[in-house]
Structure 1
Amino acid sequence: MAEASEDDLDLGISLEVVATLVDHARAVQGTEVVDLDAEAETDPDTGAVEDEFDEDSLRAAILALNEDEQAALIGLALVGRGDFTPEEWEDAITEGAERDNGADAAEILLAMDNFGDLLAEGVAAFGLSIEDVER
């Protein structure tokens, strides 16, 4: 059985970007254990470990995406949450692009509980796996 690939399906955003954001969101929202010793730097003044994963950097990463990628990211989270099925992908993207309340994509996603997991579930709904994506 052939595995689905990003080439078979156009999600409007690369799986590598989604996987990186999933890791970042899970670290920020506390749903994944992050080995701070492996990648962290120590502040020479305070001796505290500086975590590269924080909400501000996650917000910046989301807002650095273009509008279509932001809509696809929200769409994936909505599919992952069960609001839409993979067959309703175009509707999910449309919903992700509509921001009636003036909220930006980062605000919308950060307001979702465990949105990193929702993104992974959204990708999984299309038969793909975030865990298999190289970062």
Structure 2
Amino acid sequence: MQHRAEREWELSIGPDTVRLFILKAKALSAGMADDFADGSEHEVEFDGDGHDLHQHDGLAEEESEDLTERELRELIGDLNVDEAAELIALTWVGRGDYDASEWSEALAAARQRPWRQTAKYLLGMPQLADWLEQGLEAVAE
């Protein structure tokens, strides 16, 4: 019978917390993908009759996307320094910058990043949800 080697480290950030970030990031990217799929992001068409009342549900959609981004930004902002570094390191492992066996190196590099800019950094990644998911799977094995 084969025994899995014990990890010499434990995550400060809980897997359920990471999964919450993944769900929020997926919701955020799905909203953005819908805009691009429609081919009409930020486009306004007039049919020549500008006096008709026009109701636009897009404002509610934009507010919802902003809310999701704001929630995700606040959740990341609530992390302590160690948890924020782990979230970045998980992303890097998922992206393939580091292997799960290089966790210590990834974490050390993540700790070098400015802690207060973690949300901005992570939310700038278009595949954040996928990379977090893959990173979590890799280090949980």
TM-score (norm 1): 0.68
One-letter amino acid of the structure 2 residue matched with residue 22 of structure 1 = I
* Equivalent of residue 73 in structure 1, options 87, 92, 95: 87
Would the alpha carbon gap of residues 54 and 84 (structure 1) be closer, same or farther in structure 2, given more than 3 Å must change? same
SS in 1 for 2:125: coil
- Aligned partner (choices 108, 113, 138) of residue 99 of structure 1: 113
Q: Deviations over 1:75-110 (max 9, x none)?
A: 00000000001111011111211126x861101111
**Following the alignment from structure 2 to structure 1, what is the Cα–Cα distance between the partners of residues 89 and 113?**
12
Q: 1:8 to 1:23 in 2, by over 3 A?
A: farther
5+ residue gaps, structure 2: 32-56
Please point out which of 120, 123, 126 is paired with 2:133. 120
Q: Which has the larger radius of gyration?
A: 2
Matched AA of 2:90: L
State how far apart, in whole Å, the 2-side matches of 1:126 and 1:58 are: 22
Post-superposition Cα deviations, 1:26-65, rounded to whole Å, max 9, x if no partner, equal: 101118xxxxxxxxxxxxxx9x577485211111110101
Q: How many residues align?
A: 111
Superposition CA RMSD, Å? 3.3
Report sequence identity in percent: 35
Query: What residue in structure 2 maps to residue 25 of structure 1?
Result: 25
C-alpha distance in 1 between matches for 2:84 and 2:134: 17
Question: SS of the residue aligned with 2:30?
Answer: coil
Report the Cα offset of residue 9 of structure 1.
Answer: 5.7
Equivalences for residues 7-86 of structure 1 within 5 A: 10-30=10-30, 48=60, 51=64, 54-86=68-100
Whole-Å Cα distance in 2 between the matches of residues 9 and 51 of structure 1?
38
TM-score (norm. length: structure 2):
0.66
Task: Pick the structure with more helix per residue.
Answer: 2
- Report deviation, 1:11: 2.2
The letter for the 2-side match of 1:12 is: S
Report the Cα distance in structure 2 between the residues aligned to 1:112 and 1:125, rounded to whole angstroms: 19
Aligned AA (2:124): A
Contact preservation (8 Å) 2:77, 2:116: no
